[in-house]
Amino acid sequence: MAVSPGRRFGRALARAPFYLLVAAIFVYCLFPFYWVLRSSFMPEVTLFQTPVEYFPSHPTLSNYREVLSASFFTDALLNSAIVAGSVTLLSLAIGSSAAFALGRLRFHGRSFVLYLMLSMTIFPQIVILGALYTTISKLHLYDALGSLIFSYLIFTLPFTIWVLTSFVRAVPADLEEAAYVDGATSLQVFWKVLLPLIAPVSSRQGYSRSSRPGTSTSTRCRSSSRRATTRCRSRSPPSWRRAPNPTPCCGARSWPRP
């Protein structure tokens, strides 16, 4: 049965508020990203001019050339890549092994260990920073990339184990039993049966774990003064907006807001 044009127009008109709301949310979420991209192509002197230019009239690549040619930026980028990659690989390797043990093997205290992992994610990170700083100092890891890797593993590993354990438990046990019947060992069952099945959630956890070390700054400033200074300098304002006497804070310079 054909629908009349009037009825089609009425349906489209009824759905118009919904699509307008979706468009407004879409613009609201993407506008900050556009503003950052737009500001990166504008000269420094035109960033705070009024009226505001929503589209750069004289785009330039000088900002990118200045940042990419600075040695401290490339060093900070390399350090972040090393820390993020190490934390991701170690979290997935240790987390998947622990998830297999907690999800499939039977031993005393399994539930206690699992809930202990969950309880470690409840406390705020700021609570253990004092003890973490003392531990890093006693291990002589201060001002080293190893301190950052160690710190982020403490925060990321418990949640990774908890999530992967839930997915390991959801895998049908018949697959493992069939592998055991064929003569496979526990290590072979984990490597050839379970690991490929939990690979999607492992990759998702790997992405979330790798993005965390690149965005957090509180742990970096407390465990590495020199590298914290390097990273914080990359976020410092232009020279004409700097304070005459900056005050050192956690090994880095803090600039007053305009």
The larger pLDDT score, comparing residue 252 to residue 188, is at 188
Return the pLDDT at 124. 78
For residues 89-112, average pLDDT? 85
pLDDT, one tens digit per residue, over 33-46 is 999 999 889 888 88
Considering only CA atoms, give the Rg of the chain.
Answer: 26
Q: What is the dihedral of CA 136, 141, 145, 149, to 10 degrees?
A: -40
The larger pLDDT score, comparing residue 196 to residue 254, is at 196
pLDDT, one tens digit per residue, over 169-182 is 888 888 888 888 88
Distance between CA 180 and CA 96 in Å, rounded? Answer: 20
Give the three-class secondary structure for 105.
Answer: coil
Residue 139 pLDDT > 60: yes
- Beta bridge partners, 254, equal 247
The larger pLDDT score, comparing residue 43 to residue 4, is at 43
Give phi and psi for 246, each to the nearest 5. Answer: -65, 150
Hey, what are 37's tokens?
């991209």
Residue 104 pLDDT > 70: yes
Residue 214 pLDDT > 80: no
Hey, what are 251's tokens?
């090994």
Under 8 Å between Cβ of 98 and 161: yes
Q: Enumerate domains of the chain plus CATH numbers.
A: 5-66 (no CATH), 70-233 (1.10.3720.10)
Distance between CA 175 and CA 189 in Å, rounded? Answer: 9
Tell me which long-range contacts 80-86 makes (C-beta under 8 A, separation of at least 24): 80/213, 80/214, 80/231, 82/145, 83/145, 83/148, 83/149, 83/152, 83/213, 84/210, 84/211, 84/213, 84/214, 85/210, 86/145, 86/149
Per DSSP, the residues of 185-204 read: -HHHHIIIIIHHHTHHHHHH
Return the pLDDT at 157. 85
For residues 222-250, average pLDDT? 42
The half-sphere exposure of 165 on its side-chain side, counting CA atoms within 13 A, is 22
Neighbours of 212 (CB within 10 A): 17
- Beta bridge partners, 252, equal 249
Residue 116 pLDDT > 70: yes
Residue 98 pLDDT > 70: yes
Residue 206 pLDDT > 90: no
Return the pLDDT at 6. 66
pLDDT category of residue 27 using cuts at 50, 70 and 90:
very high
Return the pLDDT at 26. 94
Give the three-class secondary structure for 128.
Answer: helix
Q: Could you give the angle at the alpha carbon of 8 between the alpha carbons of 5 and 13, nearest 5°?
A: 125
- Amino acid in position 165: T
For residues 161-188, average pLDDT? 84
Q: Give Cα 152 to chain centroid, integer Å.
A: 11
For residues 52-63, average pLDDT? 84
**What is the chain's length?**
258
Give the three-class secondary structure for 242.
Answer: coil
